[in-house]
């Protein structure tokens, strides 16, 4: 039976077929396909009257409000373009609080009075939609009597065609809100946070004599994922229901050999990844890097960074296309943070910076003046991160990410900043050496460093263990989970940094207006402020147990589990923060907390139930069959007068494991039965404190059983099968 299963998979690995993609010698392939499935500026210019096009550009590039009068014209052009790309339907494409994307298709079809079909798509349909919102989580924002939700066109993210052999349709990126205008999605708060950052940054830049254009946040997310043969996936109820393995003994060969990282990409994987990239190019997603990751079967892809709103939409597309195309190559793409115990999990490194179209404010720059601006904004980020460790942990916390950030695996759930030794040295000097005048001749701020960029930008120190690392011209937020939307983390980052910039601008403005130079004013401000957030800087190994102790001494937050981290979302300090910058109302914040808490509960609940089912209905019967084989063999051996000692000891061992499994299963069943009260806040505590340990206890016995039960009786693929068949 089981042997047959393994042969099935091996045959899938052997018989995958290539999609016709790599047309060798086609020099124009990339320029030609890039963006061809998007209604972006290129198509708009070609298809829209000049004045309409210019209005759209002002909205897209400068954030100006859109004149609703142009909607009909844009809709007509968009429809023509979509039809020319083979679309039959359109959908408002939005990001409800589930963290995924949602769509509801309508056809372009309209039947005329003479019974003939025409196509139709007006400005109204482009601008606003009304999906039946009752099934989307709202965290209490939408009373059941008012199930309506509205989607509203986001002209700043290009509409695109999703298509395959089965269906082709137009997707219009939209925001999703309740009838009262409260955000039910991931996009609206992100857009609001980008606006907040824009406002405060432009005001701050005036202190430096710069009258800046639109400031935007930029994101470059690196996505880690596993590819697993589909044959294995369908034979594992745990993978199918929860995206991760709830059982599995450690294989004889794990990632110890370190031979996978940056190794040559296996051909079937390469073909699959290449197809993902080609489809993403068509969607205008600028995919850049791909490589094998540390664990066997684990890979990473990353695009070139883009403005936060588009990057966040594109990141969703990347995940969806990965999942879709993996199946075309006989794989399943696992985006879960921890699909396999004992080998690395997957994260999403969110590279973040902000600036104007010609100035990255996270780049130290080339002149002392640029350096000064950089110091202001970089330290603002640091103080924000220190002040809002709780929020940064909350916005990345989930049942899945607990396996990475939680108690059992490094890195711990402690936020710290890696600066690199040279930049840290500069901050130390800033803090220690008083005012700058005495050493003016020595260059910038009297530190003896004229120009910063050669220091950190090309410095050799890289720290892969830090959850928040400065990497030369951006910060890299590494604690984000691989399956998560990057919207919320980006929203949080934009907002907390906006607050720090705003606070400091408030302090500096009157001083500078009174005649002090910005250099002197900033110098004083920084030497006053640095001591208050300096403890967040840590350049050492975040995986080392000593760091946990050191962080505790420094008084840094260590939440341990999503159950502890999530409530910070709605803490008073954070309500005030988000309300002040118009990013979340207190009700909207509560809604996020409720939905994320509910998701934690549901996920652990499903895992508990699935583990119980697999153990009782798959593993236990296999063990019983084996015991039966042993005992009948023993009877036969005794009849034949052969030795029975080995059979006896094996039978005793299996019988003992069956006893252990049964006891652990009874306990898990009892914990699954109990939901932990009526409130979701108490249910999650039950899940964390009782269901997870009971699930792990069952696994512990089952994994020992896997090592004694014959291969051909074991009811599902093992780690050895899954990790090494490609
Ligand atoms: P590494 O693995 O060395 O950290 P990668 O090349 O895999 O780097 O990914 C780095 C990511 O950071 C890419 O998506 C890249 O476009 C992005 N990035 C580079 N510069 C910036 C910036 N200024 N702001 C935001 N993201 C950036
Ligand atoms: Mg990388």
Q: Per-residue b/e over 387-411, b at no fewer than 16 CB within 10 Å?
A: bbbbbbbbbbbbbbbbbbbbeebeb
pLDDT of residue 250: 86
**260 C-alpha vs ligand 2 centroid, how far in Å?**
15
**300 C-alpha vs ligand 2 centroid, how far in Å?**
7
pLDDT of residue 163: 83
Tokens linked to 36: 């061809």
What is the C-alpha to C-alpha distance for residues 120 and 108, in angstroms, rounded to an integer? 5
What is the C-alpha to C-alpha distance for residues 238 and 340, in angstroms, rounded to an integer? 11
pLDDT of residue 631 exceeding 90, the answer is yes
- Distances in Å between the Cα of 320 and the Cα atoms of 153, 280, 326, 333, 346 are 21, 10, 10, 10, 16
Mutate to test the pocket of ligand 1, among 302, 310, 315, 359 (most ligand atoms within 8 A of CB): 302
pLDDT of residue 1: 45
pLDDT digit string (tens) for 671-688?
999 989 999 999 999 999
Tokens linked to 56: 């759209």
Q: Is the CB of 351 under 6 A from ligand 1?
A: yes
Largest CA distance in the chain: 106
pLDDT of residue 455: 47
Least confident residue range of 190-199, 290-299, 527-536: 290-299
What is the C-alpha to C-alpha distance for residues 387 and 448, in angstroms, rounded to an integer? 30
pLDDT of residue 439 exceeding 50, the answer is no
- Distances in Å between the Cα of 124 and the Cα atoms of 54, 121, 130, 148, 264 are 21, 8, 11, 17, 51
Least confident residue range of 60-69, 165-174, 478-487: 60-69
- What's the first-to-final CA gap in the chain, in angstroms? 21
**298 C-alpha vs ligand 2 centroid, how far in Å?**
13
**317 C-alpha vs ligand 1 centroid, how far in Å?**
18
HSE value, Cβ hemisphere, 13 Å, CA-based, for 605: 15
Mutate to test the pocket of ligand 1, among 305, 312, 355 (most ligand atoms within 8 A of CB): 305
Mutate to test the pocket of ligand 1, among 220, 356, 467 (most ligand atoms within 8 A of CB): 220
Ligand number nearest CA of 474 is 1
**336 C-alpha vs ligand 1 centroid, how far in Å?**
22
Mutate to test the pocket of ligand 1, among 224, 290, 474 (most ligand atoms within 8 A of CB): 474
Quick one: CA dihedral 226, 229, 233, 238, positive or negative? negative
- Among residues 470, 500, 469, 582, which one has the least CA distance to residue 194? 582
Give 506's contacts (C-beta < 8 A, 6+ positions apart): none
pLDDT of residue 5 exceeding 60, the answer is no
pLDDT of residue 441: 39
Nearest alpha carbon, ligand 1 atom 3? 471
Higher pLDDT residue, 115 or 437? Answer: 115
pLDDT digit string (tens) for 601-630?
999 999 999 999 999 999 999 999 999 999
**pLDDT confidence band for 254 (50 / 70 / 90):** low
pLDDT of residue 438 exceeding 50, the answer is no
**Span 457-486, average pLDDT:** 83
Tokens linked to 620: 């236990």
Residue found under tokens 């073909």: 271
Q: Is the CB of 303 under 6 A from ligand 1?
A: yes
pLDDT of residue 260: 62
Residue found under tokens 């068509």: 282
pLDDT of residue 668 exceeding 50, the answer is yes
pLDDT of residue 357 exceeding 70, the answer is yes
What is the C-alpha to C-alpha distance for residues 713 and 622, in angstroms, rounded to an integer? 6
Q: Is the CB of 79 under 6 A from ligand 1?
A: no
What is the C-alpha to C-alpha distance for residues 643 and 632, in angstroms, rounded to an integer? 14
Reduced to 3 states (helix: H, G, I; strand: E, B; else coil), residue 490 is: helix
Ligand number nearest CA of 289 is 1
Quick one: CA dihedral 50, 52, 55, 59, positive or negative? negative
Instruction: Report the C-alpha dihedral over residues 392, 396, 399, 405, rounded to 10 degrees.
Output: -70
What is the C-alpha to C-alpha distance for residues 719 and 726, in angstroms, rounded to an integer? 13
What is the C-alpha to C-alpha distance for residues 158 and 173, in angstroms, rounded to an integer? 7
Ligand number nearest CA of 302 is 1
**Span 579-593, average pLDDT:** 96
pLDDT digit string (tens) for 57-71?
998 888 788 888 899
Tokens linked to 492: 């949080």
What is the C-alpha to C-alpha distance for residues 698 and 615, in angstroms, rounded to an integer? 7
**Which residues lie near ion ligand 2 (Cβ < 5 Å)?**
222
Overall residue count recorded for the chain in this entry: 726
Reduced to 3 states (helix: H, G, I; strand: E, B; else coil), residue 306 is: strand
pLDDT digit string (tens) for 81-116?
999 999 999 999 999 998 889 998 999 999 988 999
């Amino acid at each position: 039976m089981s042997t047959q299963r393994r042969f099935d998979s091996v045959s899938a690995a052997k018989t995958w077929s290539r999609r016709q993609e790599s047309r060798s010698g086609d020099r124009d392939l990339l320029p030609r396909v890039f963006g061809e499935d998007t209604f972006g500026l290129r198509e708009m210019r070609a298809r829209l009257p000049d004045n309409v096009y210019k209005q759209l550009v002002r909205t897209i590039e400068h954030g100006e409000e859109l004149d609703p009068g142009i909607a009909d014209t844009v809709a007509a052009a968009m429809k023509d373009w979509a039809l020319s790309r083979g679309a039959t339907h359109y959908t408002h494409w939005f990001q409800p609080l589930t963290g995924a994307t949602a769509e509801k298709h309508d056809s372009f079809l309209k039947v005329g009075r003479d019974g003939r079909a025409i196509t139709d798509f007006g400005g109204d349909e482009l601008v606003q939609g009304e999906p039946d919102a009752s099934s989307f989580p709202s965290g209490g924002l939408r009373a059941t009597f008012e199930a309506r939700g509205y989607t509203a066109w986001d002209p700043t993210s290009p509409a695109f065609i999703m298509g395959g052999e089965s269906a082709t349709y137009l997707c219009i990126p939209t925001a999703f809100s309740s009838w009262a205008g409260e955000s039910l999605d991931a996009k609206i708060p992100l857009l609001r946070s980008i606006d907040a950052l824009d406002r405060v940054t432009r005001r701050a830049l005036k202190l430096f004599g710069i009258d800046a254009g639109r400031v935007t946040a930029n994101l470059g997310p690196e996505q880690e994922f596993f590819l697993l043969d589909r044959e294995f996936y369908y034979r594992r109820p745990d993978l199918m229901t929860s995206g991760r393995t709830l059982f599995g003994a450690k294989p004889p060969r794990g990632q110890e050999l370190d031979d996978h990282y940056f190794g040559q990409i296996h051909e079937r994987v390469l073909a699959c990844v290449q197809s993902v990239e080609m489809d993403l190019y068509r969607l205008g997603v600028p995919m850049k890097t791909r490589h094998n990751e540390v664990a066997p079967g684990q890979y990473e892809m990353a695009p070139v960074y883009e403005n936060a709103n588009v990057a966040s939409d594109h990141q969703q597309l990347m995940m969806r296309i990965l999942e879709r195309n993996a199946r075309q190559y006989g794989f399943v793409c696992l985006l879960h943070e921890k699909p396999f115990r004992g080998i690395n999990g997957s994260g999403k490194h969110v590279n973040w910076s902000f600036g104007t179209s010609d100035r990255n404010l996270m780049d130290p720059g080339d002149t002392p003046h640029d350096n000064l601006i950089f110091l202001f904004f970089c330290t603002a980020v640091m103080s924000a991160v220190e002040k809002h460790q709780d929020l940064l942990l909350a916005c990345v916390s989930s049942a899945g990410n607990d396996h990475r950030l939680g108690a059992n695996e490094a890195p711990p759930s402690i936020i710290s900043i890696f600066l690199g030794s040279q930049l840290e040295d500069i901050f130390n000097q800033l803090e220690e050496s008083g005012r700058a005048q005495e050493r003016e001749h020595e260059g910038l701020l009297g530190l003896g460093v004229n120009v910063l960029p050669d220091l950190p930008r090309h410095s050799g120190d890289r720290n892969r263990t830090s959850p928040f690392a400065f990497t030369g011209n951006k910060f890299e937020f590494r604690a984000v989970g691989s399956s998560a939307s990057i919207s919320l983390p980006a929203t949080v980052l934009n907002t907390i940094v906006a607050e720090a910039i705003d606070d400091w601008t408030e302090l500096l403005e009157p001083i500078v207006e009174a005649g002090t130079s910005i250099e002197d004013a900033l110098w004083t401000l920084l030497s006053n402020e640095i001591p208050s957030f300096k403890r967040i800087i840590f350049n050492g190994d975040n995986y080392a147990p000593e760091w946990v102790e050191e962080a505790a001494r420094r008084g840094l937050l260590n939440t341990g589990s999503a159950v502890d981290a999530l409530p910070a979302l709605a803490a008073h300090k954070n309500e005030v923060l988000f309300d002040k910058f118009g990013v979340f109302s207190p009700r909207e914040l509560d809604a996020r907390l409720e939905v994320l808490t509910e998701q934690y509960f549901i996920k652990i609940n499903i895992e508990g139930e699935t583990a119980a089912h697999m153990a009782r209905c798959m593993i236990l019967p296999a063990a019983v069959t084996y015991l039966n084989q042993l005992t009948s063999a023993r009877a036969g051996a005794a009849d034949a007068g052969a030795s029975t000692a080995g059979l006896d000891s094996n039978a005793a061992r299996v019988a003992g494991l069956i006893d252990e499994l049964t006891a652990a299963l009874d306990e898990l069943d009892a914990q699954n039965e109990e939901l932990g009260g009526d409130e979701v806040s108490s249910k999650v505590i039950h899940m964390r404190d009782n269901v997870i340990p009971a699930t792990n206890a069952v696994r512990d016995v089952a994994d020992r059983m896997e090592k004694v039960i014959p291969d051909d009786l074991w009811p599902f693929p093992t780690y050895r099968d899954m990790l090494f068949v490609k």
